[in-house]
Amino acid sequence: MHIIPKQVYVEQLADTDHYKRSQALLGLAYCKGRDIFSLLYPLTFDQEQIVRRDALISLGINRNSRAYFFLANYFFWAKENFPQEENLELQKSILFSFRANKDPRALELVQRATELKGLESLASSVLRVCKRYPRLGFMYEYMGNEEDRENA
């Protein structure tokens, strides 16, 4: 198996080809480090919808605890800043993100989404997973150095 270095993905984020940017986002989603959140979130405002969508999903896959508040705010911000159909796709991406990161703080937002037209089915599915497996695999990851963790 060939592992691509993180720096290659970072460089691809600035590529003019939106498919390469999306590929870089998904690659970075599986990388560790406190800096990953800062690399992913700016692309949620990319000109291309596919890049925005993949950036939102990648934030969930990465499981950085800082992503929840950004994703929750973006969920409602998108409604006011994108056409209905695009907004719906971005909100679905955020629900997929919540399912991927399993952050228990998302439960209330997911419950509210079950009542939103076009999101009912997906939100209900994510909600079932959240309720059936509370805190399944979610852990706040400490991103500092080991010495600081031990001193805390």
Question: Collapsing DSSP states into helix, strand and coil, what is residue 27?
Answer: helix
Residue 145 has pLDDT above 60, yes or no: no
Q: What is the pLDDT of residue 151?
A: 56
**Mean pLDDT, the chain, whole residue set:** 88
Sole residue written with tokens 């150095």? 145
| Whole-prediction pTM | 0.84
Task: Write the single-letter amino acid at 119.
Answer: L
| Residues 15, 24 contacting (CB under 8 angstroms) | yes
Tokens of 149: 């963790």
Residue 34 has pLDDT above 70, yes or no: yes
Q: What is the pLDDT of residue 96?
A: 95
Number of Cβ within a 10 Å radius of residue 124: 13
- Identify the DSSP state of 6: H
Q: What is the pLDDT of residue 9?
A: 95
Residue 131 has pLDDT above 60, yes or no: yes
- Identify the weakest region by mean pLDDT among 24-28, 73-77, 139-143: 139-143
In which band, very low, low, confident or very high, does the pLDDT at 86 lie, cut at 50, 70 and 90? very high
In which band, very low, low, confident or very high, does the pLDDT at 129 lie, cut at 50, 70 and 90? confident
